Amino acid sequence: MFKLDGKIAAITGGGSGIGKAIAELFASRGAAVCILELNASTGEETAKNIISNKGKAKAFTCNVAEQSQVKDVFAAIVNEFGRVDILVNCAGISHIGRLDNTTENDFDRIFSVNVKGVYNAMAGVIEQMKKQGGGAILNLASIAGSIAIADRFAYSMSKGALISMTYSVAQDYVAHNIRCNCISPARIHTAFVDGFLKKNYAGQEKEMFEKLSKVQPIGRMGKPEEVASLALYLCSDEAAFVTGTDYPIDGGYIKLRN
C-alpha cells in the first residue's frame, strides 16, 4: 500500500522541515521528487540525500512568490518528466503579532509567500493535471487557519485563506479527476522551532520547549515524519475517494484542550 511508483511529485519548501520529510518519504515510496526551494543549498542537499538512498530527486531554485519563476520551473519539470502527478505546497513563513503591531510590510510578506505562493504553484500545475487526466494537490495549512491563536494575526489570515483555496480547487476540478486536500498541523518540532526558542528565549530554551510541547493534549510536539505519513496517504491512490477536506494533525489540540 501507499506506493508512488512512477509518480512525479513536486514539493515546494522541500529542502527543510516538514517539506524535507515529505520529499524523503515520497522518494522512498517510488516517486521522482522535484524540490522547489528558495534556499538552493538546502534543496540540493535534500536531493543528494535522496539520491544517495537510491531515490530519484531533482532540486529547483524557486521563489514561490514570483509567478514567472514558478511557471518556468513547472515548464522545466514537465519538459523533463512529462507530467506532474502530485503537488505538495509546504513553502511558508511565519509571523508573530497582533493586528495593531503587524505592519503593512509584514502583512504583504506573509501574503506573498503563504497565499500567493500556493496560488502560483497550483496555477502552475492545474492545466498539466487537466491535460494528463488527473492529479493530487496537498496544501500545508495550520490549525491557526481555523481556530483562534494569540499573536498570529497575519499568519492565521494566510492559513485560513489556504484552507478556503483548497476547498475551491477541490470543487472546481473534481470532474477532471484532480483531488485537493490540506493538512493543518499544530506545533511540529522542526529547526524553525529551535531557532525561534534560541532567538526569543536564550538560556530558557529547555523550559520553553517543554511548555510549548504541553500545549498539545498528547503532551508533545508532532514530528515532521508524522505529518509526512499523513501526506503520503492523501497523495496516494489509496486516498482516491478523498478530496476537499482539511485534516488537523494536532495531538488533540482542537478538540481536547481545556
Residues designated as active site: 155
Closest C-alpha to 60, from 127, 22, 14: 14
Grid cell listed for 232: 503520503
CB half-sphere exposure, 45, CA atoms < 13 A = 11
DSSP assigned state of 35: E
- What region, left, alpha or beta, does residue 136 occupy, with left being phi > 0 and alpha being psi -120 to 50 degrees? beta
> Where do the DSSP E strands lie in the chain?
8-12, 32-37, 56-61, 86-89, 135-140, 178-185, 246-249
- Give the CA-trace dihedral at 15, 22, 179, 115, to 10 degrees: -40
